[in-house]
Structure 1
Amino acid sequence: MLIAIVAARGRAGAPHSAIPRIWQGAIVAKTGVGIIGSRFMANIHADTVTRNPDAELIAVASPTAEHASALAAKHGISRVFADHRDLLALPDIDLVVVCTPNRYHAPIAIDAARAGKHIVVEKPLCVNVEEADEMVEAARAANVKLMYAEEFCFAPQYVRAREIVAEGGVGRLHTVKHIEKYFGPTNPMYWDIATSGGWCAMQLGSHSLGVLRWMLGKPRAIAVYAEMRRVHHHDRGLGEDESIIVVNFENGAVGVAENSWARRGGMDERVEAYGSDGTIYASLYQDNHFRVFSEPGYRYSAPGGAPTRGWTYAVYDELHNNGFPQELNHFIDCVANDRQPQETGEDGRSVLEILTAAYESARLGRKVPLEQPFRPGVARPIDCWLRDSAD
């Protein structure tokens, strides 16, 4: 963006100091970015920021010193903090990316909004709908952008599918299914329901519901029905490792989220879209026509400990194909040029509301209506499913 330094914004519409660079003889304002968190997602977002010529990675904050130091060393970050509030006090940060465990999303995002920073929050947005309400209101009150990091809405295959839908290539969409299945995460925090808020429905279903809403043009959900069960990981806790969520939307369309942490054979991640005049199949992992046979095995084929021996589906250019850099570059552009984000805190809240109602439906064994806001007053979505369980 070829603009004067004073045109950069820390608050929407308000001047903010910026980090200058010179490009083709003009002064260009860079967006200052802070990362809150220091593990897998923090590394992905830090890599994107360092490759974006219009952004500057200023600082990282994380209470785990060894992880924060490793992230800083890898990406050339000069300022490292244990407390996110110290990072938020820096005047040269315009945007923070929150990629902490789920239960910390809301308090950190609210602190960031009150500090006048724009915010990107990893999915799921937080761990209950009441927190989501508070996050959206805090961002609105501070006049900052709250952006929801659903990367699959930026994945090239899915973006192309959405373009074909938008131009009428398959007629009127009546059913969309998103499938994400593998054999469960390697990071133990996802199995801890006090931290994560739920198992596969919470972690993978948030992806699926975000994609379904976006593919259908974000109509309002009016009812949800779900089946959830634990079929394999009985030794890991009380969560669900398989879930099917069926959502009725106000335009008559049906969305199906099919998720599992009990699928062997690697990652299955795909969209099926059925319209009055056509059908779309899009797959990010197992239909990529890149197959490998290996007797000894190799380092990595796909997420979730996917197999690397025998015939396997070997992922390539994974971050780009999943939409990670496109997503964050879009959000940086929204901050720099005061644009409306494609995915917002309101989208994250809608996903979380559907998820919470899905856990309630799985407990009740019937549809849960969503014509009115669904606010069951639980600390975590999975509490709806577990509150009558003796297991």
Structure 2
Amino acid sequence: MKPPVSVGLIGSQFISAIHAESLQHCPQARLAAVASPTPGNAAAFARRFGIPRAYTDYRALLAQPEIQMVVVGVPNHLHCEVVLAAAAAGKHIVIEKPLCLNLAEADRMIAACRTAGVKLMYAEELCFAPKYVRLKQLLDSGALGAPTLLKQTEKHDGPHAAHFWDVERSGGGVTMDMGCHAIEFFRWMLGRPPIKSVYAQLSTQVHGAKTRGDDNAILILEFANGVIGMAEESWTKLGGMDDRAEVHGSEGVAYADLLHGNAIETYSARGYEYAVEKAGSTKGWSFTIYEEAWNYGFHAEMAHFVDCVQHDKTPLVTGEDARVVLEVIFAAYESARLGRKVELPFVTNAARPIDLWKPSGAR
């Protein structure tokens, strides 16, 4: 049996905590180090998860020769910088969504990893969520006939960290933050056929005082095989997380609610935090999910990526897949600006998706 893969975490906020928990459930992984520039964060994170080393500079972590794989959970505008450094250090990389801010960065990241001979793995957990894996099995088995329409929705009342609201660092609003999940979910469910076009209706309904990014989005994707994908993403829904999908086919239909079917119906006057997203006010009635990281697929996702490193396998979700997602996001913001369908492939040199819809200075 091969020895466990030595893993370093870059980042110490909520998503890195989910990654740490998930990797602790993977016997073939060993958490070796964590890095965070915020004073005291890395040390506290290391104590919490029993990680032997903590650094305030991620480059010191990358300099450790025994670390084979890094999991990057930092703000979007830092993704490219960290991935290029990790590739240069010869580390296999798991990068959180979205891949980066723009297509030029995406190409640099993919090329750097290819040149260095390291894996660039894209952390799209919906492709590993047990309920959605079963949904795909139903579709692949023919139980629903030929697919005609896929729907996915993810909603809460807004992100937990300041950088999500700052489009200079995030690149966009809810489409960039959560629309990326829907795009890769549709591609994975259908076996990744080409996408012909995207239409997007974006708006800032509630959070205009905090961001010029979109807080509500409806995306319609048309695939080359004729299937339509429809995504509804929102930062304005109260009462905690909502994540569900539908598959409509010529011989059937299936509905999968990721949270409510596994939840505890709860009333709380004080409210509480969701472990995974830390999103939304949960005062009053809500659905309390248990084993959140497992239900969302994080355990299976990290185990899969570790296995890919250990046995030199091709990841289920790659950097190239992440680039396709980013291209669709750019096309969606362009569609929202034009008010019409935008064909793919879509070429742009825009620095951030938001700049196609609301240039700097616009509200």
TM-score between both structures, scaled by the size of structure 1? 0.89
Further displaced range: 69-78 or 196-205: 69-78
Residue 375 of structure 1 corresponds to which residue in structure 2?
347
- Asked whether 1:177 is paired with 2:132, we answer no
Which of 107, 121, 134 is matched with 1:133 structurally? 107
RMSD: 1.6
The 3 A distance-change label for structure 1 pair 134 and 264 is: same
Residue 267 of structure 2 corresponds to which residue in structure 1?
293
Structure 2 residue matching 1:274: 3-state secondary structure: strand
**Deviation at residue 174 of structure 1 after TM alignment:** 1.3
The 3 A distance-change label for structure 1 pair 360 and 297 is: same
Residue 58 of structure 2 corresponds to which residue in structure 1?
84
Which of 275, 287, 308 is matched with 2:283 structurally? 308
The 3 A distance-change label for structure 1 pair 114 and 241 is: same
**Deviation at residue 265 of structure 1 after TM alignment:** 3.2
The separation in 1 between residues aligned to 2:30 and 2:143, in whole angstroms, is 40
**Deviation at residue 289 of structure 1 after TM alignment:** 5.7
Structure 2 residue matching 1:65: 3-state secondary structure: coil
Contact 1:267 1:306 in 2 (8 A): no
The 3 A distance-change label for structure 1 pair 325 and 252 is: same
Contact 2:262 2:290 in 1 (8 A): no
**Deviation at residue 171 of structure 1 after TM alignment:** 0.9
Which of 169, 173, 178 is matched with 1:195 structurally? 169
Structure 1 residue matching 2:240: 3-state secondary structure: coil
Letter in 2 for 1:181: K
Residue 25 of structure 1 corresponds to which residue in structure 2?
none
The separation in 1 between residues aligned to 2:361 and 2:99, in whole angstroms, is 26
Letter in 2 for 1:54: Q
The separation in 1 between residues aligned to 2:56 and 2:278, in whole angstroms, is 29
- Asked whether 1:365 is paired with 2:339, we answer yes
The separation in 1 between residues aligned to 2:22 and 2:238, in whole angstroms, is 31
Contact 1:130 1:375 in 2 (8 A): no
Structure 2 residue matching 1:264: 3-state secondary structure: coil
Residue 344 of structure 1 corresponds to which residue in structure 2?
318
Letter in 1 for 2:349: G
Further displaced range: 124-133 or 300-309: 300-309
* Structure 1 runs (4+) greater than 6 angstroms displaced: none
- Asked whether 1:58 is paired with 2:58, we answer no
Contact 1:176 1:271 in 2 (8 A): yes
**Deviation at residue 52 of structure 1 after TM alignment:** 2.2
CA deviation map 1:147-175 (0-9, x unaligned)? 00011110010000001111111011111
Gaps of 5+ in 1: 4-28
Name which one, 1 or 2, has greater alpha-carbon Rg. 1
The separation in 1 between residues aligned to 2:146 and 2:230, in whole angstroms, is 17
TM-score between both structures, scaled by the size of structure 2? 0.95
**Deviation at residue 186 of structure 1 after TM alignment:** 2.2
The separation in 1 between residues aligned to 2:361 and 2:144, in whole angstroms, is 43
Letter in 2 for 1:306: S
Further displaced range: 248-257 or 281-290: 281-290
Letter in 1 for 2:272: R
Written as runs of structure 1 = structure 2, the 5 A alignment for 1:1-391 is 2-3=1-2, 29-288=3-262, 290-294=264-268, 296-300=269-273, 303-309=278-284, 311-370=285-344, 372=345, 374-387=346-359, 390-391=362-363
Gaps of 5+ in 2: none
Structure 1 residue matching 2:4: 3-state secondary structure: strand
CA deviation map 1:280-317 (0-9, x unaligned)? 100112344631234x34534674223232x3211111
